[in-house]
């Protein structure tokens, strides 16, 4: 039986940081997933980091305000483990991701 996992978790006290999680699961196995950290910056919600299985492999896209995202393949082939890693990474490092993005966002360019 196939089921969908879909939730939003607020990360900061001011509710301006959140992680969005979507996954398709069948018989306990993750088939595909998206874990996206979003921050409210400059009056808009912006994707800062996205882990997903698009393009046929698990990877992380690190977004930048003025250039293309950096795409890095995860060295975790098991999608269950990759999903767990992605969620834990965002929960642990969201503030650092935000600080880096905001630094680029505020740069003159």
Tens digits of residue pLDDT in 19-77:
999 999 999 999 999 999 999 998 999 999 999 999 889 999 999 998 889 999 999 99
Q: Which residue has the tokens 């950096």?
A: 70
User: How many Å apart are CA 66 and CA 32, to the nearest integer?
Assistant: 29
pLDDT at 91 over 60: yes
Q: What are phi and psi of 80, to 5 degrees?
A: -60, -45
Burial degree of 77 (CB within 10 A; 0-12, 13-18, 19+)? exposed
pLDDT at 104 over 90: no
Q: Of 1 and 19, which is predicted with more confidence?
A: 19
pTM: 0.93
Instruction: Please give the DSSP secondary-structure letter assigned to residue 76.
Output: -
| Per-residue model confidence (pLDDT) at position 66 | 87
Cβ–Cβ under 8 Å, residues 19 and 94: yes
Q: Which residue has the tokens 């098991």?
A: 78
Region of poorest pLDDT, from 31-35, 50-54, 81-85, 100-104: 100-104
- 90 pLDDT band, cuts 50/70/90, is very high
User: How many Å apart are CA 82 and CA 27, to the nearest integer?
Assistant: 17
């Amino acid at each position: 039986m196939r089921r969908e996992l879909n939730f939003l978790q607020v990360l900061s006290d001011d509710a301006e940081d959140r992680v969005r999680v979507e996954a398709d699961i069948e018989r306990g196995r993750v088939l595909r997933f998206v874990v996206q950290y979003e921050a409210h910056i400059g009056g808009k919600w912006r994707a800062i980091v996205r882990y997903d299985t698009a393009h046929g492999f698990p990877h992380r896209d690190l977004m930048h305000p003025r250039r293309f995202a950096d795409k890095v393949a995860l060295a975790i082939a098991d999608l269950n483990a990759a999903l767990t890693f992605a969620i834990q990474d965002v929960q642990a490092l969201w503030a650092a991701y935000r600080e880096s993005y905001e630094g680029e966002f505020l740069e003159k360019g």
